[in-house]
């Protein structure tokens, strides 16, 4: 089987589309992920994990602060995916017009989402091109009163419903992320998260 066919098969493992927010030294930011998974089966120890590429500003903000908020989105929130997932917070304040407040951990909680999970980083894995952050869920909430209505946006839904005008940008970003990852994925390094260092 060729690499493209393998990649298409692996797409069955993508997560729902989620918005991940962070805050560092007064700067607030958000990005989009489809690489989130539940990472614990113990109801009293809720955990999740995400893979964040190192070229994203969010990567450094989460690594520096050890906290982030993950938001499940609804299918009607395509515009938010475009706003947070197609440009970097390095060049603009992406949350300027997105209603939010700071959560208990100090990272932004978006008013409008299906649900949110505030997370404190418990451990990390360095894939060399990205970092997988394992988060302890410290707080959970639904968005505004009516926000949890509707269906959670899956990655497949996003790919088949994104406006045609966005598609070229999406494919270009994906290709450049793949190139970055291809150059840097081979040399996996173990990193001991600072919270676990003796
Ligand atoms: C549908 C979709 C899925 C994405 N999945 C991921 C992902 O799993 N990991 C990642 O690091 N970036 C992912 N991205 C890309 C980031 O959201 C994007 O690079 C963003 O501009 C990063 O913003 P920042 O530099 O402000 O952190 C995805 C983008 C989209 C639109």
pLDDT single digits (tens) 12-69: 999 999 999 999 999 999 999 999 999 999 999 999 999 999 999 999 999 999 999 9
- Structure-block tokens of residue 17: 């589309």
- Among 169, 122, 125, 115, which Cα is nearest to 146's? 115
pLDDT single digits (tens) 104-144: 999 999 999 999 999 999 999 999 999 999 999 999 998 77
d(CA 47, CA 39): 5
Q: What share of the chain is helix, strand, coil (3-state, %, to 5)?
A: 30, 30, 40
Where do runs of H (alpha helix) occur along the chain? Answer: 3-10, 57-65, 78-85, 155-161, 164-184
Ligand 1 midpoint to CA 31 (Å): 6
Ligand 1 midpoint to CA 150 (Å): 23
d(CA 68, CA 116): 10
Q: Is 198 helix (H, G, I), strand (E, B) or coil?
A: coil
| Ligand 1 atom at shortest distance from the alpha carbon of 15 | 8
The answer, yes or no, to whether residue 146 has pLDDT greater than 80, is: no
pLDDT of residue 197: 77
Mean pLDDT computed over every residue of the chain: 95
- The reported pTM is 0.96
């Amino acid at each position: 089987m060729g690499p493209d066919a393998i990649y298409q098969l692996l797409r069955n493992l993508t997560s729902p589309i989620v918005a991940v927010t962070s805050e560092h030294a007064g700067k607030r930011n958000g990005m989009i992920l489809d690489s989130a998974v539940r990472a614990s089966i113990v109801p009293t120890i809720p955990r999740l994990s995400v893979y964040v590429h190192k070229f994203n500003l969010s990567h450094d903000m989460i690594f520096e602060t050890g906290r982030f908020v993950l938001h499940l989105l609804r299918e009607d929130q395509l515009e938010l995916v475009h706003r947070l997932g197609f440009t970097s917070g390095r060049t603009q304040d992406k949350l300027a017009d997105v209603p939010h407040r700071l959560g208990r951990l100090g990272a932004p909680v978006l008013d409008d989402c299906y649900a949110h999970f505030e997370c404190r980083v418990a451990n990390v894995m360095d894939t060399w091109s990205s970092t997988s952050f394992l988060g302890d869920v410290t707080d959970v909430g639904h968005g505004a009163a009516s926000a949890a209505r509707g269906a959670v946006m899956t990655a497949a839904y996003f790919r088949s419903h994104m406006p045609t005008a966005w598609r070229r940008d999406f494919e270009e970003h994906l290709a450049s992320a793949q190139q970055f990852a291809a150059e840097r994925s081979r040399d996996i390094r173990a990193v001991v998260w600072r919270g676990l260092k003796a």
